[in-house]
Amino acid sequence: MNSPVTGGPLSGLRVLELAAIGPVPFACMLLADLGAEVVRVDRPGVPRAFGTWHRVLDRGRRSVALDLKDPAAVEALLRLVEGADILVEGYRPGVCERLGIGPDVCLARNPRLVYGRMTGWGQQGPLAQAPGHDINYLALSGALHAMGRAGGPPVVPLNLLGDFAGGGLPLAFGVLAAVEERHRSGLGQVVDAAIVDGTAALLGMLAGMTAAGEWRPERGVNLLDGGAPFYDVYLCADGRYVAVGALEDRFYAALLDGLGLAPDEVPDRTDRAGWPVLRARLAACFLTRSRDGWAAAFEGTEACVTPVLTLEEAVEHPHHRARGCTTVRPTESSGPRRYRDSGAWRGRGCRVRRGCWVRLGWRARRGCWRCRPRRVWRVRLGWRVRGGCWVRVGWRVRWACRVWGAVSRSGRSSRRAAACRRSPARPGTASDRSAPAHSCGGWHSAGPDRRR
């Protein structure tokens, strides 16, 4: 019999994340979902660009505010580096070096540190210092040119391809590979992840098809870009769409059978010259029913026909609900906010993590409410959990003001800690919601990041 899971596979791995956008928080979200202890370092008093977009990507970690232009804050960060396994930053090349927190400095303080760097163009090259976003990196890599309808302009694939698939995933994979190598060498290393490099790796199969003469440079005329009528989306009677992916022969036969078409009634699908006629026949058939009607008709078949769902519809789909990959959780908005959740940390034990504030109506961020609801009673209104000891909200014990015990206690942090002890805050009060994090490295913030 399998023993219950008490932590993710990365439990015990300590990650420092210098706050950024796009691929950096995505990569750190994956690490946190797998059990790593991630601490995000924010700039005090400066709202992060597109910060509200990253509420889901920021899940699973605590945050501390450090002004890295202040030498004292730089020293505080370097003390954190001494106890960290991974540091991840997404600044332009040379910024960390100018701040005094570059790879050479950090590896001198902690030779086992894995230093992950995330940029769009890479640390070297003619464009290394140029600004850019997902669409620019895709354009230069050749990926953007390949997507779109025949005769039309390239189609932007959101930022899923560059930021996340070509940036965040290689970053997370690279730093974990470096951690694995550290077990043999005993030393850390620098991981240079660039979106243009990751996207180039994703284009490997397309490059192979081009070299073999099976992919033409024109958009919308190839097997996987919507050019093939049996691999495309079709409009239905209600104005919504279905996706068709009947590449293999038996799947294509099931598609024709579901549409009521005989093989001899349509052109041979291996003849590209007949694709326009075949597409017209399929399009006419799909216009005879609604999207959900076709979804019901093809359910349980091998036709590879699925409805094209909106994000709201996808959250409610029975398959996603059965797998637990979507979650509805309360927020401070007027109603429930739905978002994607990998679910990788479900069942990660029943321990309430340090620094997690508990309020009436909220459950422990990484507690046991999903895996063992019967133990939620341990989280009590107005209390914090320290190991097995109950500590009142607004009070601090010495360890609670530390990040991995790495930051020394300055006079300023001591005064602020004393102020917290003199003025206990009740859950839900203004002081509980908005107490700012400060640059001494102490965890005096009860901001919304630790209450979602």
Identify which of 300, 354, 345 has the alpha carbon closest to the alpha carbon of residue 325. 345
- In the residue annotation, 133 being an active-site residue is answered as yes
Residue 172 falls in which region: left (phi positive, over 0), alpha (psi -120 to 50) or beta: alpha
What letters, b where the CB count within 10 A reaches 16 and e where it falls short, cover 432-442? bbebebbbbbb
In residues, how long is the chain? 452
Identify which of 35, 57, 67 has the alpha carbon closest to the alpha carbon of residue 449. 57
In whole angstroms, how far apart are CA 176 and each of 34, 103, 188, 191, 301?
12, 17, 11, 10, 40
Distance, CA of 194 to CA of 123 (rounded, Å): 8
Query: Could you tell me which residues are beta bridge partners of residue 61?
Result: 38
Maximal C-alpha separation, the chain: 85
Distance, CA of 164 to CA of 319 (rounded, Å): 24
How many C-beta neighbours within 10 Å does residue 424 have?
14
**Catalytic site residue from 42, 85, 163, 432:** 163
> DSSP 3-state assignment of 254?
helix
**All residues at 6 or more sequence positions from 427 whose CB lies less than 8 Å from its CB, including other chains:** 357, 358, 359, 360, 381, 382, 393
In whole angstroms, how far apart are CA 317 and each of 4, 298, 310, 339?
28, 16, 10, 13
Query: Could you tell me which residues are beta bridge partners of residue 64?
Result: 41
For residues 77 and 41, the answer to whether their CB atoms sit within 8 Å is yes
- In the residue annotation, 192 being an active-site residue is answered as no
**Catalytic site residue from 133, 257, 317, 320:** 133
Q: Which residues are catalytic?
A: 133, 163
